[in-house]
Structure 1
């Protein structure tokens, strides 16, 4: 069934029907929606179609929530979704009166809005383009993709079948993966396997202890959601390193980092960053200012490192870097500090080596240093981070594309292989000219590609490439089959 989101009151002149190129985007979260919007606002004669099962475009996994406890982990001023209008989100918050009904939003001299507000902002930006027909939203999951001439044939789970000249994979972050040693518990009803569906937390008793596998931003978001529901029981955060996300600085300041003459060594970059932190602190600046500056250079740094150094980073530095790079909003940082001081939250380091279900709870065996420990809990939540390594196995259409040699895993366990122009790398090692990888699944190539500004920049580059392409004639232009 063809489904469109609700129209906005703003008027957008409809595009006249034409036998134009069709661009299909798989995934309508922030990445896919931002690309569709960028293309739709151009003067190019295009048919733009987005496959997204959710009712609205632009929210995706991250922002499709009504949980008021979940907030953006960066200030609203830094949510630069549209490069041509970097303050659009801030104006939306003011125009719609969101801040007047969100007393806790302001902290540390900045606005840390609710995640749902950003989802609403994206919907507001996309709705008139959908209403005018410039973007067609198929509210379906893609079940199959087959090569058809120089284009593609795409199948949706509600019966839509259409052809495309150009295809963009903008699939969102995959769900976390239960550790292999705890797979025996995967189907147990006392396991919260999807941390983003926070309604499942309503099953947890007010004083029930909860063990969370993971200690990153998703884990502390779960803590905030539990407390929003009146939960007061002990929450244990278990991760291999025991490192927790760090807070933002009280002041929004940025320093500079002088790049070394030769950036081919991870060790050299680590020395540079440490030196920059020492210099910043000597000047009275917070260490966070160095990481904010580092973010602006991170893609260039990553792309300058050889493959062996990238692998070394992922093995040895990734978790500690991410704890400082992806920081908690002040509201959740204050909650975490308060709960840890009161003994309601603890963070422990360890690795799950075995797990079993008992009548009274879930029993996990941990490796901690050279010793072992056992921990029993009535509830277990999986917040280990997205399972990018298994992304192809998680989607039938990606498995089909891999079988056809159109895509392959990137080799670093971060997503899908692509080149610097975001074109997918096929099984033969060559770029596929009409197939693009957008968003976090392209991180192995670009490095920093999780934040909105970096994704927006990649989306803009992909759009420029697509708009510069000459019309293609190899794809069958059959109309959608609707059910």
Structure 2
């Protein structure tokens, strides 16, 4: 039975059970699906779950969706389990997949160290979602394809969700919109943003890809694999492309000495730690993996001024070292650049024009035309804090932006912080909290956070769960 069929069957079987708690998840990308899995595994009492998203199907959001099912994830299998306390769950799922096992025989008996396509991981996530749902005949789950435009807190403690077709009420609301809510007038997705195709004014063909992260590398190789033979320009403000993973897993290694208290000193400390690791025969990747275990406490200890300084000058460097490419993909990228068919340039993208793109190059005061027959935006979308949903939260005092206005201020367990502290029963999961919690946009951190939030809900610390 399909996921949609399961929903229909459960909705019919559970009709009339209105006394059960109601939980709403806004967003059906990876954060939303993962939150639903965690709830179904952690909340033992019966409940209603509604998942809101204007997209007509369950998607992976920016984390999982891609034009090509063969696009490779940048995390190893060992880091991608969606089962709490079972780090080998994804590996076990792959081992049980005869077709995959036959295609990758060299990795038998385990696949923990390899990198797999997004399509494979997406299949795994959706199967675990379906299995969790099938085991919970006592709950009701439904989809709503209407976008939620506002959220209000009632005197009863419940929430009113304002959508296109009316309003709903819920005891708990989880914001799982990934990198933000789409405004009616703001495009945030590569898949929804049309490719600009200019009149053919250059020969040979020339394409411009905006961005320098993993998404731009994936787009580059999708074009090459699809037969595109023209020149490709990678355009970004800072020009730091993703670095390489080690071929085998790099165990975390980092000095246990107390960290400095200022950003400048921290940077020096980290550089020395990387150099020392390499001098000992380890790798800088080991040091960076160790740093990530301390990143959250370091970030929270920095004053707002230094956080802003990091965001302006150092975030691009940090991201290029934490969001790494599989070694084989990185080698292919270096070969592509060495051949000269693809070039990396630093600059600020301006307006699109029929002939290509207006660009202000780094160090130059004025814009100039970069001729191209294609311009494709591969930058990761940031949350739109002006979106009506977020504005309703700010006006009602239910939420506030983080210090850098990168997203919402949240606790480690995803509780939304408002003008009076934590807002009971309101959570923001995943990338929406990246300004408060470094690395919360990565799969392992999202999985950990969803289970922590689900345990709070299950324990009744943020909601008085009603009897069935």
TM-score (norm 2): 0.84
Q: Is the 8 A contact 1:109 1:250 kept in 2?
A: no
> Does residue 1:397 correspond to 2:389, yes or no?
yes
1:357 aligns with 2:353: yes
Distance 2:253 2:140 in 1: 41
Equivalent position of 1:345 in the other structure: 342
Residue in structure 2 matched with residue 213 of structure 1 by the alignment: 210
Give how far 1:35 is off: 1.9
In the TM superposition, residue 272 of structure 1 has moved relative to its aligned partner by 2.1
Contact 1:40–1:48, Cα closer than 8 Å, also in 2: no
Give the equivalent residue in structure 2 for 1:70.
71
1:41 corresponding residue in structure 2 = 41
- TM-superposed deviation, 1:314: 0.9
Deviation at 1:418, TM superposition (A): 2.3
- 1-structure distance, mates of 2:412, 2:151: 24
1:203 to partner: Cα distance? 11
Q: In structure 2, do the counterparts of structure 1 residues 34 and 155 end up closer, same or farther at CA, with 3 Å as the change threshold?
A: same
Q: Distance in 2 between matches of 1:54 and 1:363?
A: 30
Indicate if the aligned counterparts of 2:247 and 2:326 stay in contact, CA closer than 8 A.
no
What is the Cα deviation at residue 263 of structure 1? 4.2
Q: Provide the C-alpha distance between the structure 1 equivalents of 2:420 and 2:267, rounded to a whole number of angstroms.
A: 32
* 130, 137, 140: which one aligns with 2:142: 137
- How far apart are the structure 1 equivalents of 2:182 and 2:234? 15
What is the CA distance between 1:416 and its match in structure 2?
0.9
**Aligned residue pairs, count:** 449
Deviation track 1:221-247 (CA, whole Å, cap 9, x = no partner) reads 211221232212111011122211111
Q: Which residue of 1 aligns with 2:363?
A: 369
The answer to whether the 8 A contact 1:92-1:121 is kept is yes
Alignment of 1:381 onto 2:376: yes
Report the Cα distance in structure 1 between the residues aligned to 2:121 and 2:56, rounded to whole angstroms.
15
1:5 is matched with 4
Q: Does 1:415 align with 2:407?
A: yes
SS of alignment partner, residue 5 of structure 1:
helix
Structure 1 gap segments, 5+ residues each: 178-182, 188-192, 476-483
How far, CA to CA, are the matches of 2:120 and 2:240 in structure 1?
A: 29
- Asked if 2 retains the 8 angstrom alpha-carbon contact of 1:176 and 1:383, the reply is no
Could you say which residue in structure 2 is the equivalent of 1:466? 457
CA contact (8 A) 2:161 2:169 kept: yes
> What is the DSSP-based 3-state SS (H/G/I as helix, E as strand, rest coil) of the residue aligned with 1:268?
helix
Correspondence list, 1:178-217, <5 A: 194-196=189-191, 208-217=205-214
Q: Report how far residue 164 of structure 1 moved.
A: 0.6
Structure 2: how far apart are the matches of 1:304 and 1:22? 37
Alpha-carbon separation, structure 1, partners of 2:114 and 2:140: 31
Alignment partner, residue 233 of structure 2? 236
* Alignment correspondent of 2:131: 128
Q: Once the two structures are superposed, what CA deviation does each residue of 1:301-330 show, in whole Å capped at 9, x if it has no partner?
A: 222323222222112210011111111233
Partner residue in 1 for 2:113:
110
Residue 171 of structure 2, aligned match among 155, 165, 170: 165
Q: TM-score, normalized by length of structure 1?
A: 0.82
1:351 aligned counterpart, secondary structure = strand
- Once the two structures are overlaid, the 10-residue window that deviates more, 136-145 or 198-207, is 198-207
Q: 2 CA distance for matches of 1:36 and 1:356?
A: 40
* Distance change (3 Å), C-alpha of 1:244 and 1:172: same
Question: Do the aligned residues in 2 keep the contact of 1:69 with 1:224 (CA within 8 Å)?
Answer: no
SS in 2 for 1:350: strand
What residue number does 2:222 align with? 225
In structure 1, C-alpha distance between the alignment counterparts of 2:374 and 2:309, rounded to whole Å:
35
Q: Distance in 2 between matches of 1:123 and 1:417?
A: 29
Q: Distance in 1 between matches of 2:233 and 2:30?
A: 32
CA distance in 2, matches of 1:371, 1:144: 42
Deviation at 1:176, TM superposition (A): 11
Shift of 1:472: 5.4
